[in-house]
Amino acid sequence: MAEILAVGEAMERALALLEGGDVVAIPTETVYGLAADATNGIGVSRIFEAKGRPRFNPLIAHVADIAMAERIAVFDPLSKRLAEAFWPGPLTLVLPQRSGNGIHPLVTAGLDTIALRMPRGFGGELIARLGRPLAAPSANSSGRISATTAEAVATDLGAKIRLVVDGGATPVGLESTIVKVEGEDLRLLRPGGVAAGDIEAVAGIKLLRGMAAGIEAPGMLASHYAPGAAVRLNAGQVAGGEALLAFGKRRAGGWQDAIALRNLSESGDLREAATNLFAHLQALDQSGATTIAVEPIPFDGLGEAINDRLFRAAAPRDKAD
Ligand code: TXA
Ligand code: MG
């Protein structure tokens, strides 16, 4: 079973495991990540093993600062501006790789681009101490709900990894927003912890949505973020045997009969809702309900990313990821 150490006492142990080509679960501001040295093929392959993740789905490389990022990838002016505005923070940039950057090809699934992000807090310090980037997907079994607490990581992956660094509940609660500059355009590959409107305000252009040719972010496809129970969206009425994921003050009809109820945000605050999303889904999943009914959630601000994750949680379950 994995050892759980608080951030204040975990640094040396985490470094030793990473140096030895092992994986460590770490807190970031978005969700917990399952990290390995991005230049170490054995470490990176252990990430895929522990998660049961398909190897065609590339990982994000996490950096300590912009200088480290520029040694790995080539920045165009707009990407640079976005990095300066939002790093450290929940924004991931997809950029052309520099050749000879030392990143193991398993990280990028052989693509000539790489997804980069600079996390806040313990993760950033760990990368600076290691002196090398960390590859880290969310610390959950592939296709399941992302973990926002050390306990959730330990429950899901504890038998497969040796250390979970406990930084408490992650403040943002949703994975990073992923964008990519395409010529004059900026494409949103995954909505996430930075609202699209905030990125547009810095970029001065509208984000393009939807996939370009090919599968740009394989994790965007098929069933993902799936709890064990079925998920039913935009519920106006609760049916027998259902649990209710609520939002705001007005309740769906028949809410008194829900076998469990969690409210993402009583006051209708979408940031609070993002923070609570995965933990509430998990709690309702454990209530024994066959279906989780979800009240409508507005699409503005972080609502876009919340609706995106719920949509995927409700998608037909195939085994693509
Ligand atoms: O907040 C986050 O982003 C968390 C924390 C741990 O940093 N990480 C995370 O990683 O969500 P993961 O592996 O669950 O999601 C990464 C996404 C996947 O959908 C993957 O397909 C996409 O990034 N991705 C990675 N490299 C890419 C690339 N070169 N081009 C397009 N998409 C890429
Ligand atoms: Mg994930």
Check which CATH number belongs to the domain holding 238 and give it: 3.40.50.11030
| One domain, residues 89 and 185 | yes
Q: Does a structural domain hold residue 59?
A: yes
Q: Does a structural domain hold residue 294?
A: yes
What pLDDT, on a 0 to 100 scale, did the predictor assign at position 210? Answer: 76
Q: Does a structural domain hold residue 320?
A: no
User: With contact defined as beta carbons under 8 Å apart, do 321 and 52 qualify?
Assistant: no
- CB of 61 closer than 6 A to ligand 1? no
116 burial via Cβ count (<10 Å: 0-12, 13-18, 19+):
buried
| One domain, residues 145 and 50 | yes
CB atoms within 10 A of CB 276: 21
| One domain, residues 19 and 72 | yes
| One domain, residues 145 and 248 | no
Q: Does a structural domain hold residue 225?
A: no
Q: How far, in Å, CA of 139 to CA of 51, rounded?
A: 8
Q: How far, in Å, CA of 88 to CA of 160, rounded?
A: 29
Pocket probe for ligand 1: among 30, 56, 57, 60, the residue whose CB has the most ligand atoms within 8 Å is 60
Structure tokens at 171: 């403040």
| One domain, residues 236 and 216 | no
| One domain, residues 86 and 152 | yes
Q: How far, in Å, CA of 303 to CA of 286, rounded?
A: 24
Q: Is 181 helix (H, G, I), strand (E, B) or coil?
A: strand
Among residues 220, 241, 257, the one where a domain terminates is: 220
Annotated binding-site residue? 176: yes
Distance 133 CA to ligand 2 centre (A): 18
What pLDDT, on a 0 to 100 scale, did the predictor assign at position 234? Answer: 96
| One domain, residues 280 and 248 | yes
Q: How far, in Å, CA of 188 to CA of 209, rounded?
A: 5
Among residues 220, 255, 271, the one where a domain terminates is: 220
Q: What angle do CA 54, 56, 38 make, to 5 degrees?
A: 90
From 245, 237, 253, 313, select the one nearest 276 (Cα to Cα): 245
Q: Does a structural domain hold residue 128?
A: yes
Structure tokens at 187: 């494409």
Pocket probe for ligand 1: among 138, 148, 225, the residue whose CB has the most ligand atoms within 8 Å is 138
Q: Does a structural domain hold residue 175?
A: yes
From 94, 54, 297, 289, select the one nearest 181 (Cα to Cα): 94
What pLDDT, on a 0 to 100 scale, did the predictor assign at position 319? Answer: 44
What pLDDT, on a 0 to 100 scale, did the predictor assign at position 56? Answer: 85
Q: How far, in Å, CA of 220 to CA of 299, rounded?
A: 18
Structure tokens at 120: 């806040």
Q: Is 109 helix (H, G, I), strand (E, B) or coil?
A: coil
pTM greater than the 0.90 cutoff: yes
- CB of 140 closer than 6 A to ligand 1? no
Q: Does a structural domain hold residue 292?
A: yes
What pLDDT, on a 0 to 100 scale, did the predictor assign at position 122? Answer: 97
The CATH number for 17's domain is 3.90.870.10
| Structural domain span for residue 301 | 230-314
Annotated binding-site residue? 279: no
From 318, 298, 278, 23, select the one nearest 151 (Cα to Cα): 278
Distance 215 CA to ligand 1 centre (A): 13
> 28 - beta bridge partners?
none
What ipTM is given for this predicted complex?
0.99
From 68, 202, 160, 82, select the one nearest 123 (Cα to Cα): 68
| One domain, residues 52 and 141 | yes
| One domain, residues 252 and 146 | no
CB atoms within 10 A of CB 277: 27
Among residues 185, 220, 255, the one where a domain terminates is: 220
- pLDDT beneath 50: ranges in the chain: 214-215, 218, 319-321
Structure tokens at 105: 């090809």
How many distinct structural domains can be found in the chain? 2
Q: Does a structural domain hold residue 107?
A: yes
Structure-token match 């429950």, residue found: 155
**Beta strands 33-37; 24-26: pairing state:** antiparallel
* Structure confidence by residue, pLDDT tens digits, 284-296: 999 999 999 999 9
From 247, 257, 231, select the one nearest 296 (Cα to Cα): 247
| One domain, residues 153 and 298 | no
User: With contact defined as beta carbons under 8 Å apart, do 177 and 199 qualify?
Assistant: yes
| One domain, residues 116 and 240 | no
**Beta strands 134-135; 33-37: pairing state:** antiparallel
The CA-based diameter of the chain, rounded to the nearest angstrom, is 60
Q: Which residues surround ligand 2, an ion (CB under 5 A)?
A: 138
Annotated binding-site residue? 136: yes
| One domain, residues 59 and 20 | yes
Q: Is 128 helix (H, G, I), strand (E, B) or coil?
A: helix
Structure-token match 């190897």, residue found: 55
